[in-house]
Structure 1
């Protein structure tokens, strides 16, 4: 090696050893071949530690592919400059680095390895984060922060500036700064720019500027030069603070001091170490400590032990410049009483803007929270009242109504137990009947005789009003009746007593709701009002229930009458039918014969009506009998149609039967259904000579349709047509019938586990359709 080469070698070694950046050399297998001192400082390993080891010892496994990819790119003669990644130090720290990768070639120019220059970019990342924080501070500042060129053109504008001056950024950026200056202040711009050009900073320069709406605003300006990287002044930044409030500083300070001192809220300041430095009258009134007792004490004086960790969180927020608004928590008075308070905590800054403490405004919200809880309680009560009102209004069962009323009112009043007693007076006029009970076993009452007409109960059962007593044992009406002269031994303990009569609309006292509790003074006016409200609803519900019972009884009598009448009519009708048929056989052709034929037909109609009445009485009594067997519904339809063809020659009956129509059912009843539907089609579509009957096997069921082409049925009537005794007024008044046929038909179909419906439009005829299950194949 010549002298020049030696010099270059030593020069390279000197540079290699003296570089501030870590330099690592390695071969193609990533085995480290050289390691400079800076790499040792960077990673904590000595050269001896690392020579011969692989580069992968400085990274986690997730970074291996990345390193290999860089090497592949280098072998393809690609330049690797400032590649950002992470590496691991000896003590396990992960450090962000920038890597520049260069090839190491032999004398033939073949790449035999690589050198890596690694630079710690932690500070760069921190700087970027700080830049982002600074941008957030600027945007969040209540002060106007504005930048402009040396020529006075506005280049940036924050939210604070928008709030103070009224211009949005889009309105003002690009305008001259004099836009904000009153005419009498324009000369100040030259003064400010001259100072900035000389590199001078102007602090707290008080002047006047003008808002968008023309308002003159007193402000305090801090103006600083903006420098480029070379240190050249290229612009100006301004922080403008609205100091309208500071113009009357002395007056306002005195006013503020008076407000603080007279505030009902506790206004306290403290150091960052938590030592109390100021304490107003509100704090004294809320917490019980005088100013002399509180000053110099730690703020934990007011904090329950289980909430001490809150102070650490508050101080950490304050140190970060964060304000805490309306933080609801618990604090403690001097006497140990816990208070619910709302805290607003703000940082206190010194003249240099450094946070030196915190101010706290503590408002006692115990009454507010109690009011909120009362509101929630009232809301729950209203929901319960609404629920019980809806529940009992929908019920007609007396027992269900009274149990619901008793349970709910017992819960609403907070009673230990509640009961409803019917006002059932015995022969002596002294006994009442316990009907429902809540909160106690019935045995607790059954051990004793029922309440009698004592002075305590008389007021309630006579309907004179509500009785509410804080301690019934001290009431003058208490203990006046033998043999107990007080509460019987073993009786439920009752001190607080509430009794509310339940009075019907007619003024009759139906009964009473009674509530008891072993503690005194439990029941309040609100409980009295609540129970009275429920009692009035219960009275209406009981009246409705009584009316329902009466209507049900009348309906039962009506059903009994129909059953008896139809049964009694069957015997003379059968006899008359026999006599007329006998006369038909013996009477020669002529006028008398025609009269006999008409009489027979009318008798048949009458017999059909009686049969319908007989069936309806059986339906309602649950005695409509069915005899199930397997039969062919299609064959039955065919036979019925043939009969109608003989008896009604003016109509054509077209039947379409598809598939297996075997079913298991009552053949006579199904004949009744089909005959009724076809008969109705003839009766209600006399001008339509064609009646279509369709039956088809749809897999699991047989669907049958009887279709006429008459006047049709309106949607309104379709919803009622299957109810008993329903007839279409504008159509059926000239047609005989009781309106029972379709009701009985529906009952028969449903007893066959089927369904029936109508499909119709006015003037387009009607289709009565029913579906019944097919016979199950064994």
Structure 2
């Protein structure tokens, strides 16, 4: 029976209960308050409740007056319990309390509202018990925010993300996967995602998937899915097993990346490689490729038929030592290995046995390094070889002919030169024979040119046949240059040859051959500078070599022609396609002579700005 008045008779109240129970309530760490009657007159509050409201005086005051911050919902809950005599709860109840400093703080409580009766079993009031769950509520809010952030991040990812439980059922997919398929989130959960795998890939994908789950191993697979626009899309799946803190297998977390463009590129590369193989196999030349580790990666059909190869060979497989001619094998492998280590192009001629008939054939082999990627990473070599046996035979015939013709021409020309010099001696002092003297001098100059030409042709023939010998000796370079300059100057009436630099050194070389090189450089400079009146020759010393440079001020050489200038039979054209006389072998002979002396030859030039031809010789130790 409810009391009708708020009399001050507390008989049967909490104050008349056992003192130990009161002491227990007062020491409880949660909030405890005893409210009497329906108005919720505060009869008792424990210290925790008092401290929360900064020891505010609330005793014997109605709840609305004692705690106005608790709000109407709290008051109505107390009245509801009082009227029904049934307990009630409030969870995560928000209470805003101002501190002593005026700052507002939010607290969250779980409240339990319990009715209590007096000794006459009459409803006497409501006991409030509160538990501070502010930290739990904040953690829950932070977790919700983190989950929302995670969802935003995963939905913004261009990669499809997913999770799988320990039974292999999908438990989460992000927005990207849903956008790809155009189907709702629920359609992909469990094993629903399999429905979007293209039929031709489905059996393989399921097999890979189940095998990885059974073994709890990382999952990797490529397959196609059906997009919402009807197109096929390639995806690369990567999944990693995950475990609970207890070590129990919890499933997988993984991603799917759109690799359609990569697959298209791979297909294009595959098509390109197939076209390359088809073209290479149909080519009549020997084509090969190696990796960066020198291992052979490709031989075309022509090569495999030539060498009777049925599979790729390791190391320098395309240079099979058992097929190389014994006299060529060591030099060929040395050239190849040195070029490979320096990543430089190379060309080599050698003899290789043709397997089906056992005949050695001459092969001209060229190899160039290949590089891949934006960083130009060295990837190996690609090369081709051609059977040049017939060309070698024709070249030998030509060299033999040149050698024979040059030798046969040399004898009559020597006789003619002797008679011309004799006539010059006889008529040089007769003033009335000026025309005769001039004519004989001109003939003598032309014979000198013809003699040099025949000498060069003979040298070419000797070089090609390996018969060019060197008769080296120690001599003063200055004396040789001075003699050679004087000799050439005698025939160069329109040019002054200016000799400068340090040359008081001794070298060990073939004196006549070095003189031949200097002569070729000087006559070449004179020939290609017809509008100039000067040629310079300079000598400079390095730490290990002496360098001789011949500078002209003539037509110059284009950049693209400079690499060819020392080739046999190559000639530079002048202005308006003007062609200069000569066979184009003087510089070739000079370069070959210097190479045989372990020296170097090079040219520095610009078109219409003259040219400086250099050669170096090692100094005596």
Bucket of the pairwise TM-score, normalised by the shorter protein: 0.3 to 0.5
Which is bigger in relative contact order (C-alpha 8 A, separation at least 6)? 2
> How high is the TM-score relative to the length of structure 2?
0.45
